[in-house]
Structure 1
């Protein structure tokens, strides 16, 4: 009876009409107007769809973990892991299997991908190749399958004939088998493989384009299966790829780092040129001489990082270390256990990071960035922090929220516990409106920030300035300029002149900063407002001149807002329209260019007073630009051209900062590194 049901289901699934009912072929209701989105809107909608993949996979984790548990002993016994797929599914399988030999030093013949159309289909699509069920059978029969092999058939629709034939062959040969699909009740499920892993990712962003969410799900699951299997096989040690083999410069550097990390806290044994074991009383130094010692060790271990670690930590001769690794099936943790408690019970040495934090508290949001010497490692955002319109309690609440969000992204976040911050080396807090607050409010703010971040303002562990002064960090480590002018073109434009005096940066003067209602010169808000004002003016004019046609800019704005001429009431997203039309490569819109030009002229007039000889002469100064539009090269170039057109001296250097909090946190970390070098 079951066989009859299976046969009937498979016959139905083969019919052409069934395609219309597959979940992967359905139209996505979220994306029914995607061709009307601007580019950012498209990216946001696409990202929202892709974010659903991990949630869909989560429901399949019990089956995936059981599959891995069944797979590992088969791999230990010499069995093969074989992926089967057509088109994108085959390429995803090939991508995963081809990375395993170099990453984990496994036999390439043990990890295979069979692609419809052969290897050439990986590079050049062969759409008809997937329709041959017999070809799938032939390809799998040629591999001479055994019960120790594992075959995973990948098909988003669950009905690809090539995969169907291959998976049926695997089941007939008593292989461990799995179907990886994105459609419930599929033809592959009807074959009754050992595991049916159905990830319901739903309709694609583009209907039927299963290289998107379905492809992302397949890649994540195959990565999970292979990586977790390698961990269970002892191909890693802690989080280190200890079985990697050195075959290029990047891997050579990674290999040295792994040996140092494995041997942290104990003497390191190395090999002399003749292969004799020698020891050092401390870790091999991170220097050119230390690198030479480790490179020689790794080379004498035939490029095997695991063997190099075994020699370095045990002091065994190369031959003996290799023999002991073989005796424990290459499991490095078991190798350490067999060396005795002096090695296997070594205390875990925590990784110690120096953290540098910056708060950028503006009129619309608060951003907290945390950096180490390797770069920004945590970032969080919360609400507005402008002293002119936000109470102190609310400001502290937003800073605290953004800080905890940033901490949650740190590599050692689990060590800090809920609502706790790590030890911070240096903090810089920049808040809008701070110059207008009372002395008592300022003292209360400093006390509460010190308590939050556990730093001392008096001992210069924390710096407190206005948000615009964060950009002065651009000259903190740059000896090319002692003076600078920063320009923030945002919701309330402001220009600030500053000069470096010793290890301090002092403010010389500022213009603007009146808030977005009175002083938003040259910002995205300003450009959008000017565009809207232009449309409104033309709508009024049309009352008296019915023959006048709307310009391209005006028509595009009305389409963006989805309204008629008498309904124009919003500036949302209008700056993007103006810049796209004004800066397009072919036939730029002159109306848009005129609006953009007026914005840069306003900015130039704001900068001019600060560029006087007795304040901050451009010849010896850095111009620091920030704000969404400043990160658009054509707009920046237009501003600089307008500066020259006004007869002003060009600046010695121009720096564009995308995110003030990220940039400043990294500068703090960089300054600390330079101070360490100076002390040495």
Structure 2
């Protein structure tokens, strides 16, 4: 499909006179259009759930989460990958964001990069993309050559892919293993897919990555228990999490964090069960790193021994 025929490239009849509106009216109009985004994403929940299950299974088996896109789509992927590391305690190589044109493209457009399929292959080869890994291919138009090249290479080496697009019947949908396609309609400003399309992509990526992190044991209750306490703010957050889950005071929670080698899930298990570091770590490993499962099994065992 030619780019001029894509729904994301059409003029929005509701905003044809936006340049003539008073400031309050124009921001109200943008807000009205934005409300369509959540509705469009809601229509994709079944396929998003399938993607979460696919990615989490592969991630547990040692596969990585690799994001790939150009322009706004690429920047959103890099952002999601970067934020997973401190939020959920990942090693940087476990979640990697690739953008057409490299790091420079995060701040300024790199002409022609998005049209180069071979560039995508080179970028994936640089990070040793393998059949264990899962590719999240992001392109609002569903036709970006850089992203299509990445998906093709992903499949050549035996990997799996999930595409995030904002148009129906896209080129990416023909090749990706799963395609998530929230159709948000024409943009407020014609063709400006950093707006509704970008917001939809961000919402989908939030669901995908957060869902995967929950499935692989990075969340206990609704707390990010694998947070890396790499600065004062995050250390205080880690201590608060230990307090909230173990009902210990701040001083005891800090001692648990230190005894657990600054690993919050292990500190929680130690605080809830009285186990030492090595035993708590072993219990977590045997229970798929799910804190809730460890606690439930421990309480069941403890209750049956009384």
TM exceeding 0.5 = yes
Distance 1:170 1:344 in 2: 49
Which runs of structure 2 are paired with 1:448-527 in the superposition (5 Å)? none
Secondary structure in 2 matching 1:177? strand
Match of 1:235 in 2: 218
1:35 and 2:11 are equivalent in the alignment? no
Match of 1:166 in 2: 150
Match of 2:197 in 1: 214
Match of 2:35 in 1: 51
Match of 2:208 in 1: 225
Distance 2:100 2:138 in 1: 11
Give the number of equivalent residue pairs. 304
Quote the offset at 1:145 in angstroms.
Answer: 3.1
The two structures have a TM-score, normalised by structure 1, of 0.43
Secondary structure in 2 matching 1:200? coil
Distance 2:260 2:196 in 1: 43
Match of 2:163 in 1: 179
Secondary structure in 2 matching 1:245? coil
Q: What are the superposed Cα offsets for residues 385-443 of structure 1, whole Å, 9 maximum, x if unpaired? A: xxxxxxxxxxxxxxxxxxxxxxxxxxxxxxxxxxxxxxxxxxxxxxxxxxxxxxxxxxx
Q: RMSD of aligned C-alpha atoms?
A: 1.8
Distance 2:270 2:303 in 1: 15
Quote the offset at 1:167 in angstroms.
Answer: 1.1
Distance 2:195 2:104 in 1: 22
Match of 1:276 in 2: none
Which runs of structure 2 are paired with 1:564-643 in the superposition (5 Å)? none
Distance 2:171 2:277 in 1: 54
Q: What are the superposed Cα offsets for residues 57-82 of structure 1, whole Å, 9 maximum, x if unpaired? A: 11111111111111111101100111
Larger radius of gyration: 1
Question: Where in structure 2 are there 5+ consecutive unaligned residues?
Answer: none
Quote the offset at 1:342 in angstroms.
Answer: 7.4
More strand by share: 1
Match of 1:659 in 2: none
Q: What are the superposed Cα offsets for residues 320-358 of structure 1, whole Å, 9 maximum, x if unpaired? A: 22222222232111211332337789xxxxxxxxxxxxx
Match of 2:131 in 1: 147
Q: Closer, same or farther in 2 for the Cα pair 1:110/1:197, shift >3 Å?
A: same
Match of 1:440 in 2: none
Match of 1:79 in 2: 63
More helix by share: 2
Distance 1:308 1:256 in 2: 10
Distance 2:157 2:184 in 1: 31
Tell me which of 73, 76, 80 is aligned to 1:89: 73
Which runs of structure 2 are paired with 1:332-481 in the superposition (5 Å)? 332-341=291-300
Which runs of structure 2 are paired with 1:264-279 in the superposition (5 Å)? 264=247
Q: What are the superposed Cα offsets for residues 292-343 of structure 1, whole Å, 9 maximum, x if unpaired? A: 3322321332222111111111111222222222222321112113323377
1:244 and 2:203 are equivalent in the alignment? no
Match of 1:300 in 2: 259
Whether the 8 Å CA contact 1:85–1:115 is kept in 2: the answer is yes
Whether the 8 Å CA contact 1:87–1:127 is kept in 2: the answer is no
Secondary structure in 1 matching 2:112? helix
Distance 2:169 2:268 in 1: 49
Distance 1:233 1:293 in 2: 28
Quote the offset at 1:150 in angstroms.
Answer: 0.8
Distance 2:223 2:163 in 1: 31
Question: Where in structure 1 are there 5+ consecutive unaligned residues?
Answer: 1-12, 265-282, 285-290, 346-680
Whether the 8 Å CA contact 1:337–1:343 is kept in 2: the answer is no
